[in-house]
Structure 1
Amino acid sequence: MLKLAAVGGLLAAGAWAYYANAGVAGRSMEMSVRGTPETAAFPVAVAPVARAPIAGTVTYTGTVAPYNDEDIFARVTGRVVEIPVYPGDAVRAGQVVARLDDVELSSRVLETEAMAAGARASRAQMESDLLAARLGIVQMQKELAMIDADLTYARAVAARAERLVAAGAVSQQEYENERTMATSLEARRDAARAKLEQAGAMEGAAQRKLEAAGSMVAQSQAALQTARIVRDYTRILAPSSGYVVKRLVAPGVLVQPGMAILKTTQIDRVRLQANVGEKDVQSVRVGSPVTITSVNGASAPLQARVTAVFPFVDQGARTAVVEVVVDNAGRRFLPGQYVAMRFTTGERSDTLTVPRAAVARLGGKAAVWVMEDGRAQPRPVITGLEGAEHVEIVQGLAVGERVVARGHGGLYAGARIAEVETAAERAGTPAPNTNSRPPTSEAPATPKGAGHAGH
């Protein structure tokens, strides 16, 4: 019994000590939250609310994409005998990047060349026939002219003989002879005319045969040209200048028309693409200024302008693609790299501004800590344009008021604050902005009791 009593006493003493310590600790924490006159002042950096020009910007991470990707295809069936280029090689437009076996297609070219030669020989023969027909016509015309002359003379002689026989100066037999001669010449004239018509018909036939032979020549020449073009397809050429990305087949493979052999890319110009949130994309337009910097900061910023805003928003990410096309002399940008793209969304020449680090946000509301009589007081504000270092204040502050720019951690309404001078200020140079994009890991504390603020 004595042992049980001793144990009970020890337990009661321990419980009293626990609750006593817990009560002291709880009261201490509560006082630290509420603050007491003895609480030390928080060291902070303050900045005045001032009127100044501002350019609103939003920064997004973009990706470098080639200006154009191309797959180089085979256009005829054949076995790959050579691919003289490798990934990373630069190629120029018209350069041979692959060769196919051309034995069969070269034989087809020889065959069409022989057909074309035969067509040309046939046309030459038709030209000779046409020339002969035309010469025959000329000969017939001359012969007909001679017969006409003889017939005219014979008719005159027969008429004279007819008058003489009537006068009894010549015999009837002589008259009949002269008349028979004239009749014979008339028959010869009719025959000559028939031959001339026949020669004209032969000329027409020869002309038509020549035209047909000309068509055959043209057809054979077209077939020859086609055969040569198809044969030349065995020499696969780069359609444009660029760089080889990948070999898609190896030598020895039998390829078919439409089968990709190489993949090339053009990077003399590149596309810088960023997925911009739907809230910000409304303020970005084609032609808007944009500052581009590499993520590693290895090169100086590049000034450019937006060249395209894709006219649709991704349903999942709620973003739209904004694109900037820039020259890439010296291959400053490589496909696949990340870049920081700071878009200018608007400009004001004279407006209220505070340092960007002075504005705290929670749930879409904005507020600042205002220094009033050495104490921090929360103040809801409505913001406008946001730059890399400053934020426009549309409503909630007045010129000359002082806001806490750094040292927000642990602040509460009414907390004592003491303005401290930074090393940069002591050196006479402005302090660096602690909230330039991309933001630092330390975010300003949200003032308690801050009301609704717009953006």
Structure 2
Amino acid sequence: MSHQITPAGRRSGLCAAALLITTTLLLSGCGASATGEAKAAETKDGKAAEEAKVEAVPVEVAQASRRAVAASYTGTATLEPRAESQVVAKTSGVALAVLVEEGQQVTAGQPLVRLDPDRARLAVAQSEAQMRKLENNYQRAQKLVGQQMVSASDVDQLRFDLEHARAQYRLATLELSYTTVVAPISGVIASRSIKTGNFVQINTPIFRIVDNSRLEATLNVPERELATLRAGQPVTLVADALPGKSFTGKVDRTAPVVDSGSGTFRVVSSFGDAAIGLQPGMFGRIRIDYDQRTDALVVPRLALLDDGEPAVFRVREGKVARVPVKLGYAEGPWVEIREGLQPGDQVVTAGKVALRDGTAVQVIADPKAKTVAQAAAPAAKAGSTQ
């Protein structure tokens, strides 16, 4: 049985097809619009995240922790020997022998130089002969005075002359001893200004001896430290000439009075046999420890703000807060916090200039942040692949 399509049926079919096409186009337009809005929203969120990321200030932090910290006074001084002597010639003469050299260790009374003794020996012999003559005359006069052959006044005069001759003899003997120059103190020969064959004038310096068995360093300390520094306290010295080494000593003595002109008092530290390598004249940095706390809460000095009262920036939940603190002792790179922080608190040590109270921060080299970043990287890579 055959079916014939009438003109009216043909028109109905065309209308239905046109209606289907229009509906499809409308649906496609709505889907495209929704997709565009979603993409715009994602772009906006990404920009907001980037802006938030840019606003976070990168900083370095350190944790407040407990450790031993000492209260100390520091200063600089030049090392000086405990004793020093300029050796001078007490008589004139030609140096026949120089017995020591620079750098040689000597003891008190050790011969250093022998001068020509001939003139001094002749003077001793002459004074001795005069003394012997007067001794004989005095002895004869004592025998004759009993026989009333010599007056008592003559005997007294002879006795006075004999005492004078004996003094002259002792003086000549002393001058003879001066021809051998000896060390007045024990120490090391620091300098020598004489050679064999030189003529030496009386009172001419010829050697310099320093006693380096104990070195001393003198600090001029402000009077406010008068109650804290006292004899016996431990001292640490670092010399510029010996990098990497430190030497220990003690406070030997303190001046009992304060200089009214400078407002300081003298504190003398001594360094004994343990200070091997130190030499007189070296420049040293000295630290005197006068108290110590074994369990103090400390932070790096770099964490302190320099804009007024002592304070630090504490980091919590990605933001900083300005926290006033009460300081205690300071030692090296550490400073004690008496009030304001707790153990484990994070404080900003680098990047403080750009911070204000409440600023968002990103901690550099924070292990937790690094772990989160490493975990987020694969997820972001997988999302971009899809």
Q: TM-score, normalised by structure 1?
A: 0.58
Alpha-carbon distance in 2 for matches of 1:406, 1:359: 4
1:412 corresponds to 2:355: yes
1:93 CA displacement: 0.5
Work out the CA distance in 1 between the residues paired with 2:60 and 2:168. Answer: 88
Q: Tell me by how many angstroms 1:260 deviates.
A: 1.0
For 1:371 and 1:349, locate their aligned partners in 2 and report how far apart those are by CA, in whole Å. 27
Q: Which moved more, 1:217-226 or 1:291-300?
A: 291-300
Alignment CA distance shift 1:415-1:394 (3 Å): same
1:368-388 CA distance string (max 9 Å, x none)? 221132223344444332123
Within-5 A mapping of 1:346-361: 346-347=291-292, 353-360=297-304
Written as runs of structure 1 = structure 2, the 5 A alignment for 1:1-400 is 36-39=51-54, 42=58, 44-48=60-64, 54-130=69-145, 133=147, 202=148, 205=150, 208-274=153-219, 278=222, 285-287=229-231, 288-295=233-240, 296=242, 301-305=247-251, 307-308=253-254, 311-312=258-259, 322-328=267-273, 331-347=276-292, 353-360=297-304, 362=306, 366-388=310-332, 390-394=334-338, 397-400=340-343
Question: Residue 412 of structure 1 aligns to which amino acid in structure 2?
Answer: L
User: Is the Cα contact below 8 Å between 2:315 and 2:348 reproduced in 1?
Assistant: no
Question: 3-state DSSP class of the match of 1:115?
Answer: helix
Q: Distance in 1 between matches of 2:305 and 2:111?
A: 60
The answer to whether the 8 Å contact 1:66/1:270 transfers is: yes
Aligned partners of 2:254, 2:223: CA distance in 1, in Å? 17
Report if the CA contact (8 A) 2:97-2:114 is conserved: yes
For structure 2, the residue ranges without an aligned partner over 5 or more in a row are: 1-49, 368-386
- Name the structure where strand makes up a greater proportion of residues: 2
- Which residue of the other structure, out of 345, 368, 380, is the alignment partner of 1:402? 345
Equivalent position amino acid for 1:47 in 2:
Q
Q: Distance in 2 between matches of 1:420 and 1:279?
A: 46
Q: Does the Cα contact within 8 Å between 1:367 and 1:381 map onto a contact in 2?
A: yes
Higher helix share: 1
Residue type at the aligned position of 1:125:
R
Query: For 1:166-190, what per-residue CA distance to the aligned partner results, in whole angstroms no more than 9, with x for missing partners?
Result: xxxxxxxxxxxxxxxxxxxxxxxxx
Please say if residues 71 and 330 of structure 2, whose CA atoms lie closer than 8 Å, have aligned partners that are also in contact: yes
Match of 1:106, SS state, is helix
Deviations 1:330-386 (A, max 9, x none): 8442123344422225445776x3223343353776432211322233444443321
1:112 Cα shift? 0.4
Letter of the 2:157 partner, please give it: A
Alpha-carbon distance change, 217 to 377 in structure 1, aligned in 2, over 3 angstroms? same
Cα distance in 1, alignment partners of residues 217 and 51 from structure 2:
55
Q: CA deviation at 1:87?
A: 1.0
Q: Which has the larger radius of gyration?
A: 1
Deviations 1:411-452 (A, max 9, x none): 523141337568xxxxxxxxxxxxxxxxxxxxxxxxxxxxxx
**2:325·2:337 contact (CA, 8 Å) conserved in 1?**
yes
Q: Which secondary structure state, in structure 2, belongs to the residue aligned with residue 38 of structure 1?
A: helix
The sequence identity of aligned pairs, in percent, is 19
Shift of the alpha carbon at 1:116?
0.4
Unaligned runs of 5+ in 1: 1-34, 134-201, 423-455
Contact 1:267 1:331 in 2 (8 A): no
Cα RMSD between the aligned structures? Answer: 3.7
Aligned partners of 1:400 and 1:217: how far apart in 2?
A: 92
